[in-house]
Each structure stands twice: as C-alpha cells, then as structure tokens.
Amino acid sequence: MPTTALYTGSFDPITFGHLDVLRAGAAFCQRIVVGVGVHPGKSPLFSVAEKTAFIKQCTRDFSAHGCAIEVATFAGLAVDAARRHGATILLRGLRDGADLDYEMQMAGMNGAMAPDIQTIFVPASPGVRHITATLVRQIAAMGGDVSAFAPPEIVAALATRFSNPA
C-alpha cells in the first residue's frame, strides 16, 4: 500500500516554503494530498479554484520523482480529511520554534483524535525558513518583488491582482 500524506494549509498563495515541504515529503511518500483549507470566516486573496490551479501548476514535476501530488479542498478537521483521502500521515513543515510550539499542540490533539494518523514534521530548508504566504502577500501588495519567495506563476498572479485593485 502506498504511503499517503495529507499536507494542509491555506496556500494563499503557495510559496517556495510550501514547495520545500512537499519536496521533503515526496522523499518518503508515494502520494501527497495537498488539502486547501476552506474557512467561511476568512477572506483569502485567491479563490479556492485559483489556489488549486496554482498548486497543480507548481507541482507538475513531482510525479517524475515517484510521488503523486493531488489537490483537494476540505473544511473541518484535518484528521477527517486525512481519513477521507486514505492518508496515514499529516505532513507539516517547521520554520522556527514558534511553529514547533504550535505544531506540537496540533499534533497532540490530532493524535488524541486519530491515533492511527501520524504527524511528521519536516524542517524548512535554510533558504526558505523566512518565507510566509502572509509576508509574500504584504510585500506584493506594496509593490515589492516577491520572485525570491514564490514561483513565477504566483509572482505574475500577485502582480496582476495588485495592479488591478477591486
């Protein structure tokens, strides 16, 4: 049975940091489901359809390395989404100590609710530890260059979004 992981987030937008975590996960998983969280109370910059398309574009070469990447949306608990997709792993990236504190709490709660699903942490590579989607959005909104933080298709989408304010 192939090893399947669920990697959840808002991915608003997907960044080099997210892709770094996916590459690390691809080293030990045959399948990763990228779970785009849908939260009715939040107002994301990009729609779920746009984020899904971006993730598919940015991960199209992963299958060449033996790991299938799928994208799905979910609302609710990550452990429930993991079960729906046959995942036995929750893949999580860690940038710093603050991430570790939060992610350890989440792993404990998820482990109590779903002891059959293991959380696996992967440390962010040094070159991407500083990247957050929030900061990428903020820099782009102020006209800054985000090409060091996100793939070209994301940089272009951000430039378009912020050059034509709604």
Q: What is the pLDDT of residues 53-62, one digit of tens each?
A: 999 999 988 7
Distance CA(40)–CA(134), nearest Å, equals: 18
3-state secondary structure of 18: helix
Model pTM score: 0.93
Residues of the chain with pLDDT under 50: 166
Residue 163's pLDDT is 86
Residue 64's pLDDT is 60
Residue 39's pLDDT is 84
Do residues 55 and 10 lie in contact, with contact meaning Cβ atoms separated by under 8 Å? no
Q: Which residues of 147-162 are buried (b: 16+ CB within 10 A; e: fewer)?
A: eebbbeebbebbeebe
* Domains of the chain and any CATH numbers: 4-127 (3.40.50.620)
Sheet containing 118-123: which strands, arranged edge to edge?
Answer: 68-74, 31-37, 4-9, 89-94, 118-123
Do residues 18 and 9 lie in contact, with contact meaning Cβ atoms separated by under 8 Å? yes
Residue 164's pLDDT is 56
